A and B are shown apart, each in its own frame.
Chain A
């Protein structure tokens, strides 16, 4: 007997072909990086993706700000509650708080961008002079974006000397009538606040300050700040964290809905192909009829009438995608059914479901994997489409949204001058990069498993 050369299993051969395809390997690397970063999101971003900081507003990528909470408490006998960071090791915490009182003026532009009205609490003004720097800040009507203004004067009928309106119908100018920055100091003992002072005076009850008033925070002389790789959105939520946690929804829906479609499609196609004859004709006629249904419209009706949750999303998107899978599997099994090894298995008395599961499905594995890998980006795209029209699942009390919803937020906050562009740019970029990577990888798997089919067919 001669010894046979060790052959490569089809899987190993396909993996070798895939490894030689640089494009597909690039896709694989990007896919793995994105999946790992989203799955282990807390390791890559320390921020809570749902924590709103209205006083911070939208910050450009790379910005930092004082890392305080919405409500900051320094109360003797309790642990300091002023920052997401752990400050229990510090011995002193100092806070600077803006305790100025503000007067509000509503500035309304005309169609040419000149000032039409200056409305204060005491009535209409012709002129508003602000001669002290950093004492006036601009907010939109909803109070969402704040910024400080340099000294300036506004006159009715004239254009403001600095861009003020950003295309909005009116802005509110908050002018400090009495500027006062208070300084608070807390002494800590074993992680518990022991005494709180305000400019040297002891405050036995401690203090509670809202985040929008805090202008500085130090622990043992170290400034307590935090920074955001991709900035924050209009509600002051960390964009990078939102993209990572949102990716969990997008990727999860992509994977699970594909599995659902795989399960239905393979079962349906295998039964049709194996049983054949009349059953096959009826089952495949059913698929033909279903192909004519406007599935996405029914999914939209389903989600908007039943409320969207992630389980419904899995089922609905999986149910849209199984038809092609059923056709492919049925075609494969129809071809394999008459093969000798199947006849042998049947003659040996193997029950039908075992023949299908052990012999037929594994032998159609190639086309199944190819189609499944190309289905994942399609499902992610469909989910993002649903999220864009407001019909997707969310995690964490409705604060964490999938990529499609983040893109939608980016579109909605895009000013007429393209301000806040990073809110659209980064979610779009991450999503597009992931989809490109998955598509390239799917194409690569197809070329590797089925060299006949290659040459870049869609």
Chain B
């Protein structure tokens, strides 16, 4: 276990370095510069701008400077926001994204596991079939279709929520956004959990427990749930990546100005430093999440060997 953890901890910076290099190369290889879109600036102004952001140096020089700054935790100045650093913007935008993503993930696990377990216990009943139909819909209907419809119903028609004001979104509004983001993941978790549950409910240990007179709810929650959760946990690693990706559209539909919104904005506006900065933050989040998922895997199923 210790050795495995050490291996993963060594691997993490290598992955991060790969991503940093990859995004740097991608961004710099692209034709055009960050000041192309604006109205034509005089050549001396453009030269001054390029010098200020070190765009006049050779690419290897820029890369070296970039790595040096990064090692000190400095992501540089944001090109499209004069006077603001990428660090400050990310510090500003990250909390809404983390809140939305965390909330959605929690909702997805809660709904998915509940529906999946009940579906397996009521195997081949109306509830089971209905929940699997909903799961299929959840997987197939894109969240950018669900989101506007939710807003149309809850905000425009029934006036149950109001758009985010000066102090950020209300809890009800945030819940709506999180529900929209969680739906496809809840659907997948429900299917996985149901299948996992069906796998274990009739195994010997469950039969033994039943023969000893353990109440059914205890068999489900204490004896079987652990086994049923293993596929769910291994799904959570990739799910974190997908939740972060999905957050890009959910933030723009629900007008929550988080990191996802900022990332899309910066990519389309070719804000070199901000793009790379957001990609680094997302990658770090992903690496940490995968590490946690791997550890949980071992806690759930002691047969898993780390080597």
B249 with A381: CB separation less than 8 A: no
The answer to whether A458 and B26 touch (CB under 8 A), given A294-B241, A436-B136, is: no
Q: How far is it, in angstroms, between the C-alpha of A428 and the C-alpha of B275 when the chains are bound? A: 31
Closest CB-CB distance, B288 to chain A, in whole Å?
10
Tell me the nearest residue of chain A to B244, going by C-beta: A294
The answer to whether A302 and B26 touch (CB under 8 A), given A294-B19, A294-B283, A458-B195, is: yes
| Segment of B65-73, B260-268, B298-306 in the binding face | B260-268
A411 with B144: CB separation less than 8 A: yes
The answer to whether A416 and B156 touch (CB under 8 A), given A388-B249, A435-B141, A439-B140, is: yes
The answer to whether A439 and B139 touch (CB under 8 A), given A292-B287, A297-B282, is: yes
Closest CB-CB distance, B137 to chain A, in whole Å?
7
Q: How far is it, in angstroms, between the C-alpha of A417 and the C-alpha of B149 when the chains are bound? A: 12
A304 with B267: CB separation less than 8 A: yes
B23 with A431: CB separation less than 8 A: no
Q: Which residues of B contact A431 (CB under 8 A)?
A: 142, 145
Q: Which residues of A contact B106 (CB under 8 A)?
A: none
Closest CB-CB distance, B229 to chain A, in whole Å?
14
Q: How far is it, in angstroms, between the C-alpha of A337 and the C-alpha of B169 when the chains are bound? A: 58
The answer to whether A305 and B26 touch (CB under 8 A), given A297-B263, A407-B142, A455-B195, is: yes
Q: How far is it, in angstroms, between the C-alpha of A289 and the C-alpha of B238 when the chains are bound? A: 13
Asked if B87 is an interface residue, CB under 8 A from chain A, the answer is no
B142 with A381: CB separation less than 8 A: yes
The answer to whether A384 and B142 touch (CB under 8 A), given A296-B245, A300-B267, A436-B137, is: yes
Asked if A440 is an interface residue, CB under 8 A from chain B, the answer is yes
A388 with B156: CB separation less than 8 A: no
Q: How far is it, in angstroms, between the C-alpha of A90 and the C-alpha of B136 when the chains are bound? A: 54
Main secondary structure of the interface of B (DSSP, over half): helix
Within 8 A of B (CB), among A410-458: 410-411, 414, 416-418, 424, 428, 431-432, 435-436, 439-440, 455-458
Chain B 129-143, CB within 8 Å of chain A: the 1/0 string? 000100011011110
Partner of A456, one of B137, B148, B149, B195: B195
Q: Which residues of B contact A404 (CB under 8 A)?
A: 142, 144
Q: Which residues of A contact B142 (CB under 8 A)?
A: 381, 384-385, 388, 404, 407, 428, 431-432, 435
Chain B 275-302, CB within 8 Å of chain A: the 1/0 string? 1001100110011001000000000000
B156 with A417: CB separation less than 8 A: yes
Tell me the nearest residue of chain A to B184, going by C-beta: A381
Asked if B214 is an interface residue, CB under 8 A from chain A, the answer is no
B30 with A289: CB separation less than 8 A: no
Tell me the nearest residue of chain A to B242, going by C-beta: A296
Within 8 A of A (CB), among B115-162: 132, 136-137, 139-142, 144-145, 148-149, 152, 156-157
Q: Which residues of B contact A416 (CB under 8 A)?
A: 156
Q: Report the interface size class on chain A.
A: 35 or more
Asked if A263 is an interface residue, CB under 8 A from chain B, the answer is no
Q: Which residues of B contact A381 (CB under 8 A)?
A: 142
Asked if B22 is an interface residue, CB under 8 A from chain A, the answer is yes
Tell me the nearest residue of chain B to A377, going by C-beta: B140
The answer to whether A304 and B268 touch (CB under 8 A), given A292-B287, A411-B144, is: yes
The answer to whether A297 and B245 touch (CB under 8 A), given A302-B26, A455-B198, is: yes
A456 with B244: CB separation less than 8 A: no
Partner of B132, one of A302, A411, A456: A456
Q: Which residues of B contact A1 (CB under 8 A)?
A: none
User: Interface residues of B, CB < 8 Å — how many?
Assistant: 55
Chain B 245-274, CB within 8 Å of chain A: the 1/0 string? 100110011000000000110011010000
Chain B 18-31, CB within 8 Å of chain A: the 1/0 string? 11001100110011
Q: How far is it, in angstroms, between the C-alpha of A71 and the C-alpha of B125 when the chains are bound? A: 62
Q: How far is it, in angstroms, between the C-alpha of A293 and the C-alpha of B144 when the chains are bound? A: 24
Q: How far is it, in angstroms, between the C-alpha of A416 and the C-alpha of B162 when the chains are bound? A: 13
Q: How far is it, in angstroms, between the C-alpha of A350 and the C-alpha of B270 when the chains are bound? A: 53
Closest CB-CB distance, B134 to chain A, in whole Å?
12
The answer to whether A388 and B144 touch (CB under 8 A), given A289-B15, A294-B279, is: yes
Within 8 A of B (CB), among A390-414: 390, 404, 407-408, 410-411, 414
Within 8 A of B (CB), among A250-265: none
Tell me the nearest residue of chain B to A457, going by C-beta: B195
Asked if A33 is an interface residue, CB under 8 A from chain B, the answer is no
B26 with A407: CB separation less than 8 A: no
The answer to whether A389 and B252 touch (CB under 8 A), given A297-B279, A407-B144, A424-B148, is: yes
Q: Which residues of A contact B152 (CB under 8 A)?
A: 414, 418
Q: How far is it, in angstroms, between the C-alpha of A304 and the C-alpha of B270 when the chains are bound? A: 8
Q: Which residues of B contact A410 (CB under 8 A)?
A: 148
Tell me the nearest residue of chain B to A438, going by C-beta: B140
Q: How far is it, in angstroms, between the C-alpha of A385 and the C-alpha of B241 when the chains are bound? A: 14
Q: How far is it, in angstroms, between the C-alpha of A389 and the C-alpha of B264 when the chains are bound? A: 8
Within 8 A of A (CB), among B1-49: 11, 14-15, 18-19, 22-23, 26-27, 30-31
A298 with B26: CB separation less than 8 A: yes
Q: Which residues of B contact A295 (CB under 8 A)?
A: 241
B192 with A305: CB separation less than 8 A: no
A305 with B30: CB separation less than 8 A: yes
Asked if B194 is an interface residue, CB under 8 A from chain A, the answer is yes
* Extra A-B contacts (17), CB below 8 Å, given A417-B156, A424-B148: A296-B245, A297-B245, A298-B19, A298-B23, A305-B267, A385-B142, A388-B249, A389-B248, A404-B144, A410-B148, A411-B253, A418-B152, A424-B145, A435-B141, A440-B136, A457-B231, A458-B195
Listed from nearest, the 3 A-B pairs whose CB atoms lie closest are A305-B30, A458-B191, A457-B195
Which A residues are closer than 8 A to B by beta carbons?
289, 291-298, 300-302, 304-306, 377, 381, 384-385, 388-390, 404, 407-408, 410-411, 414, 416-418, 424, 428, 431-432, 435-436, 439-440, 455-458
**9 A-B interface contacts by CB (under 8 A):** A292-B290, A294-B244, A298-B19, A304-B268, A388-B249, A404-B144, A414-B152, A439-B136, A455-B195
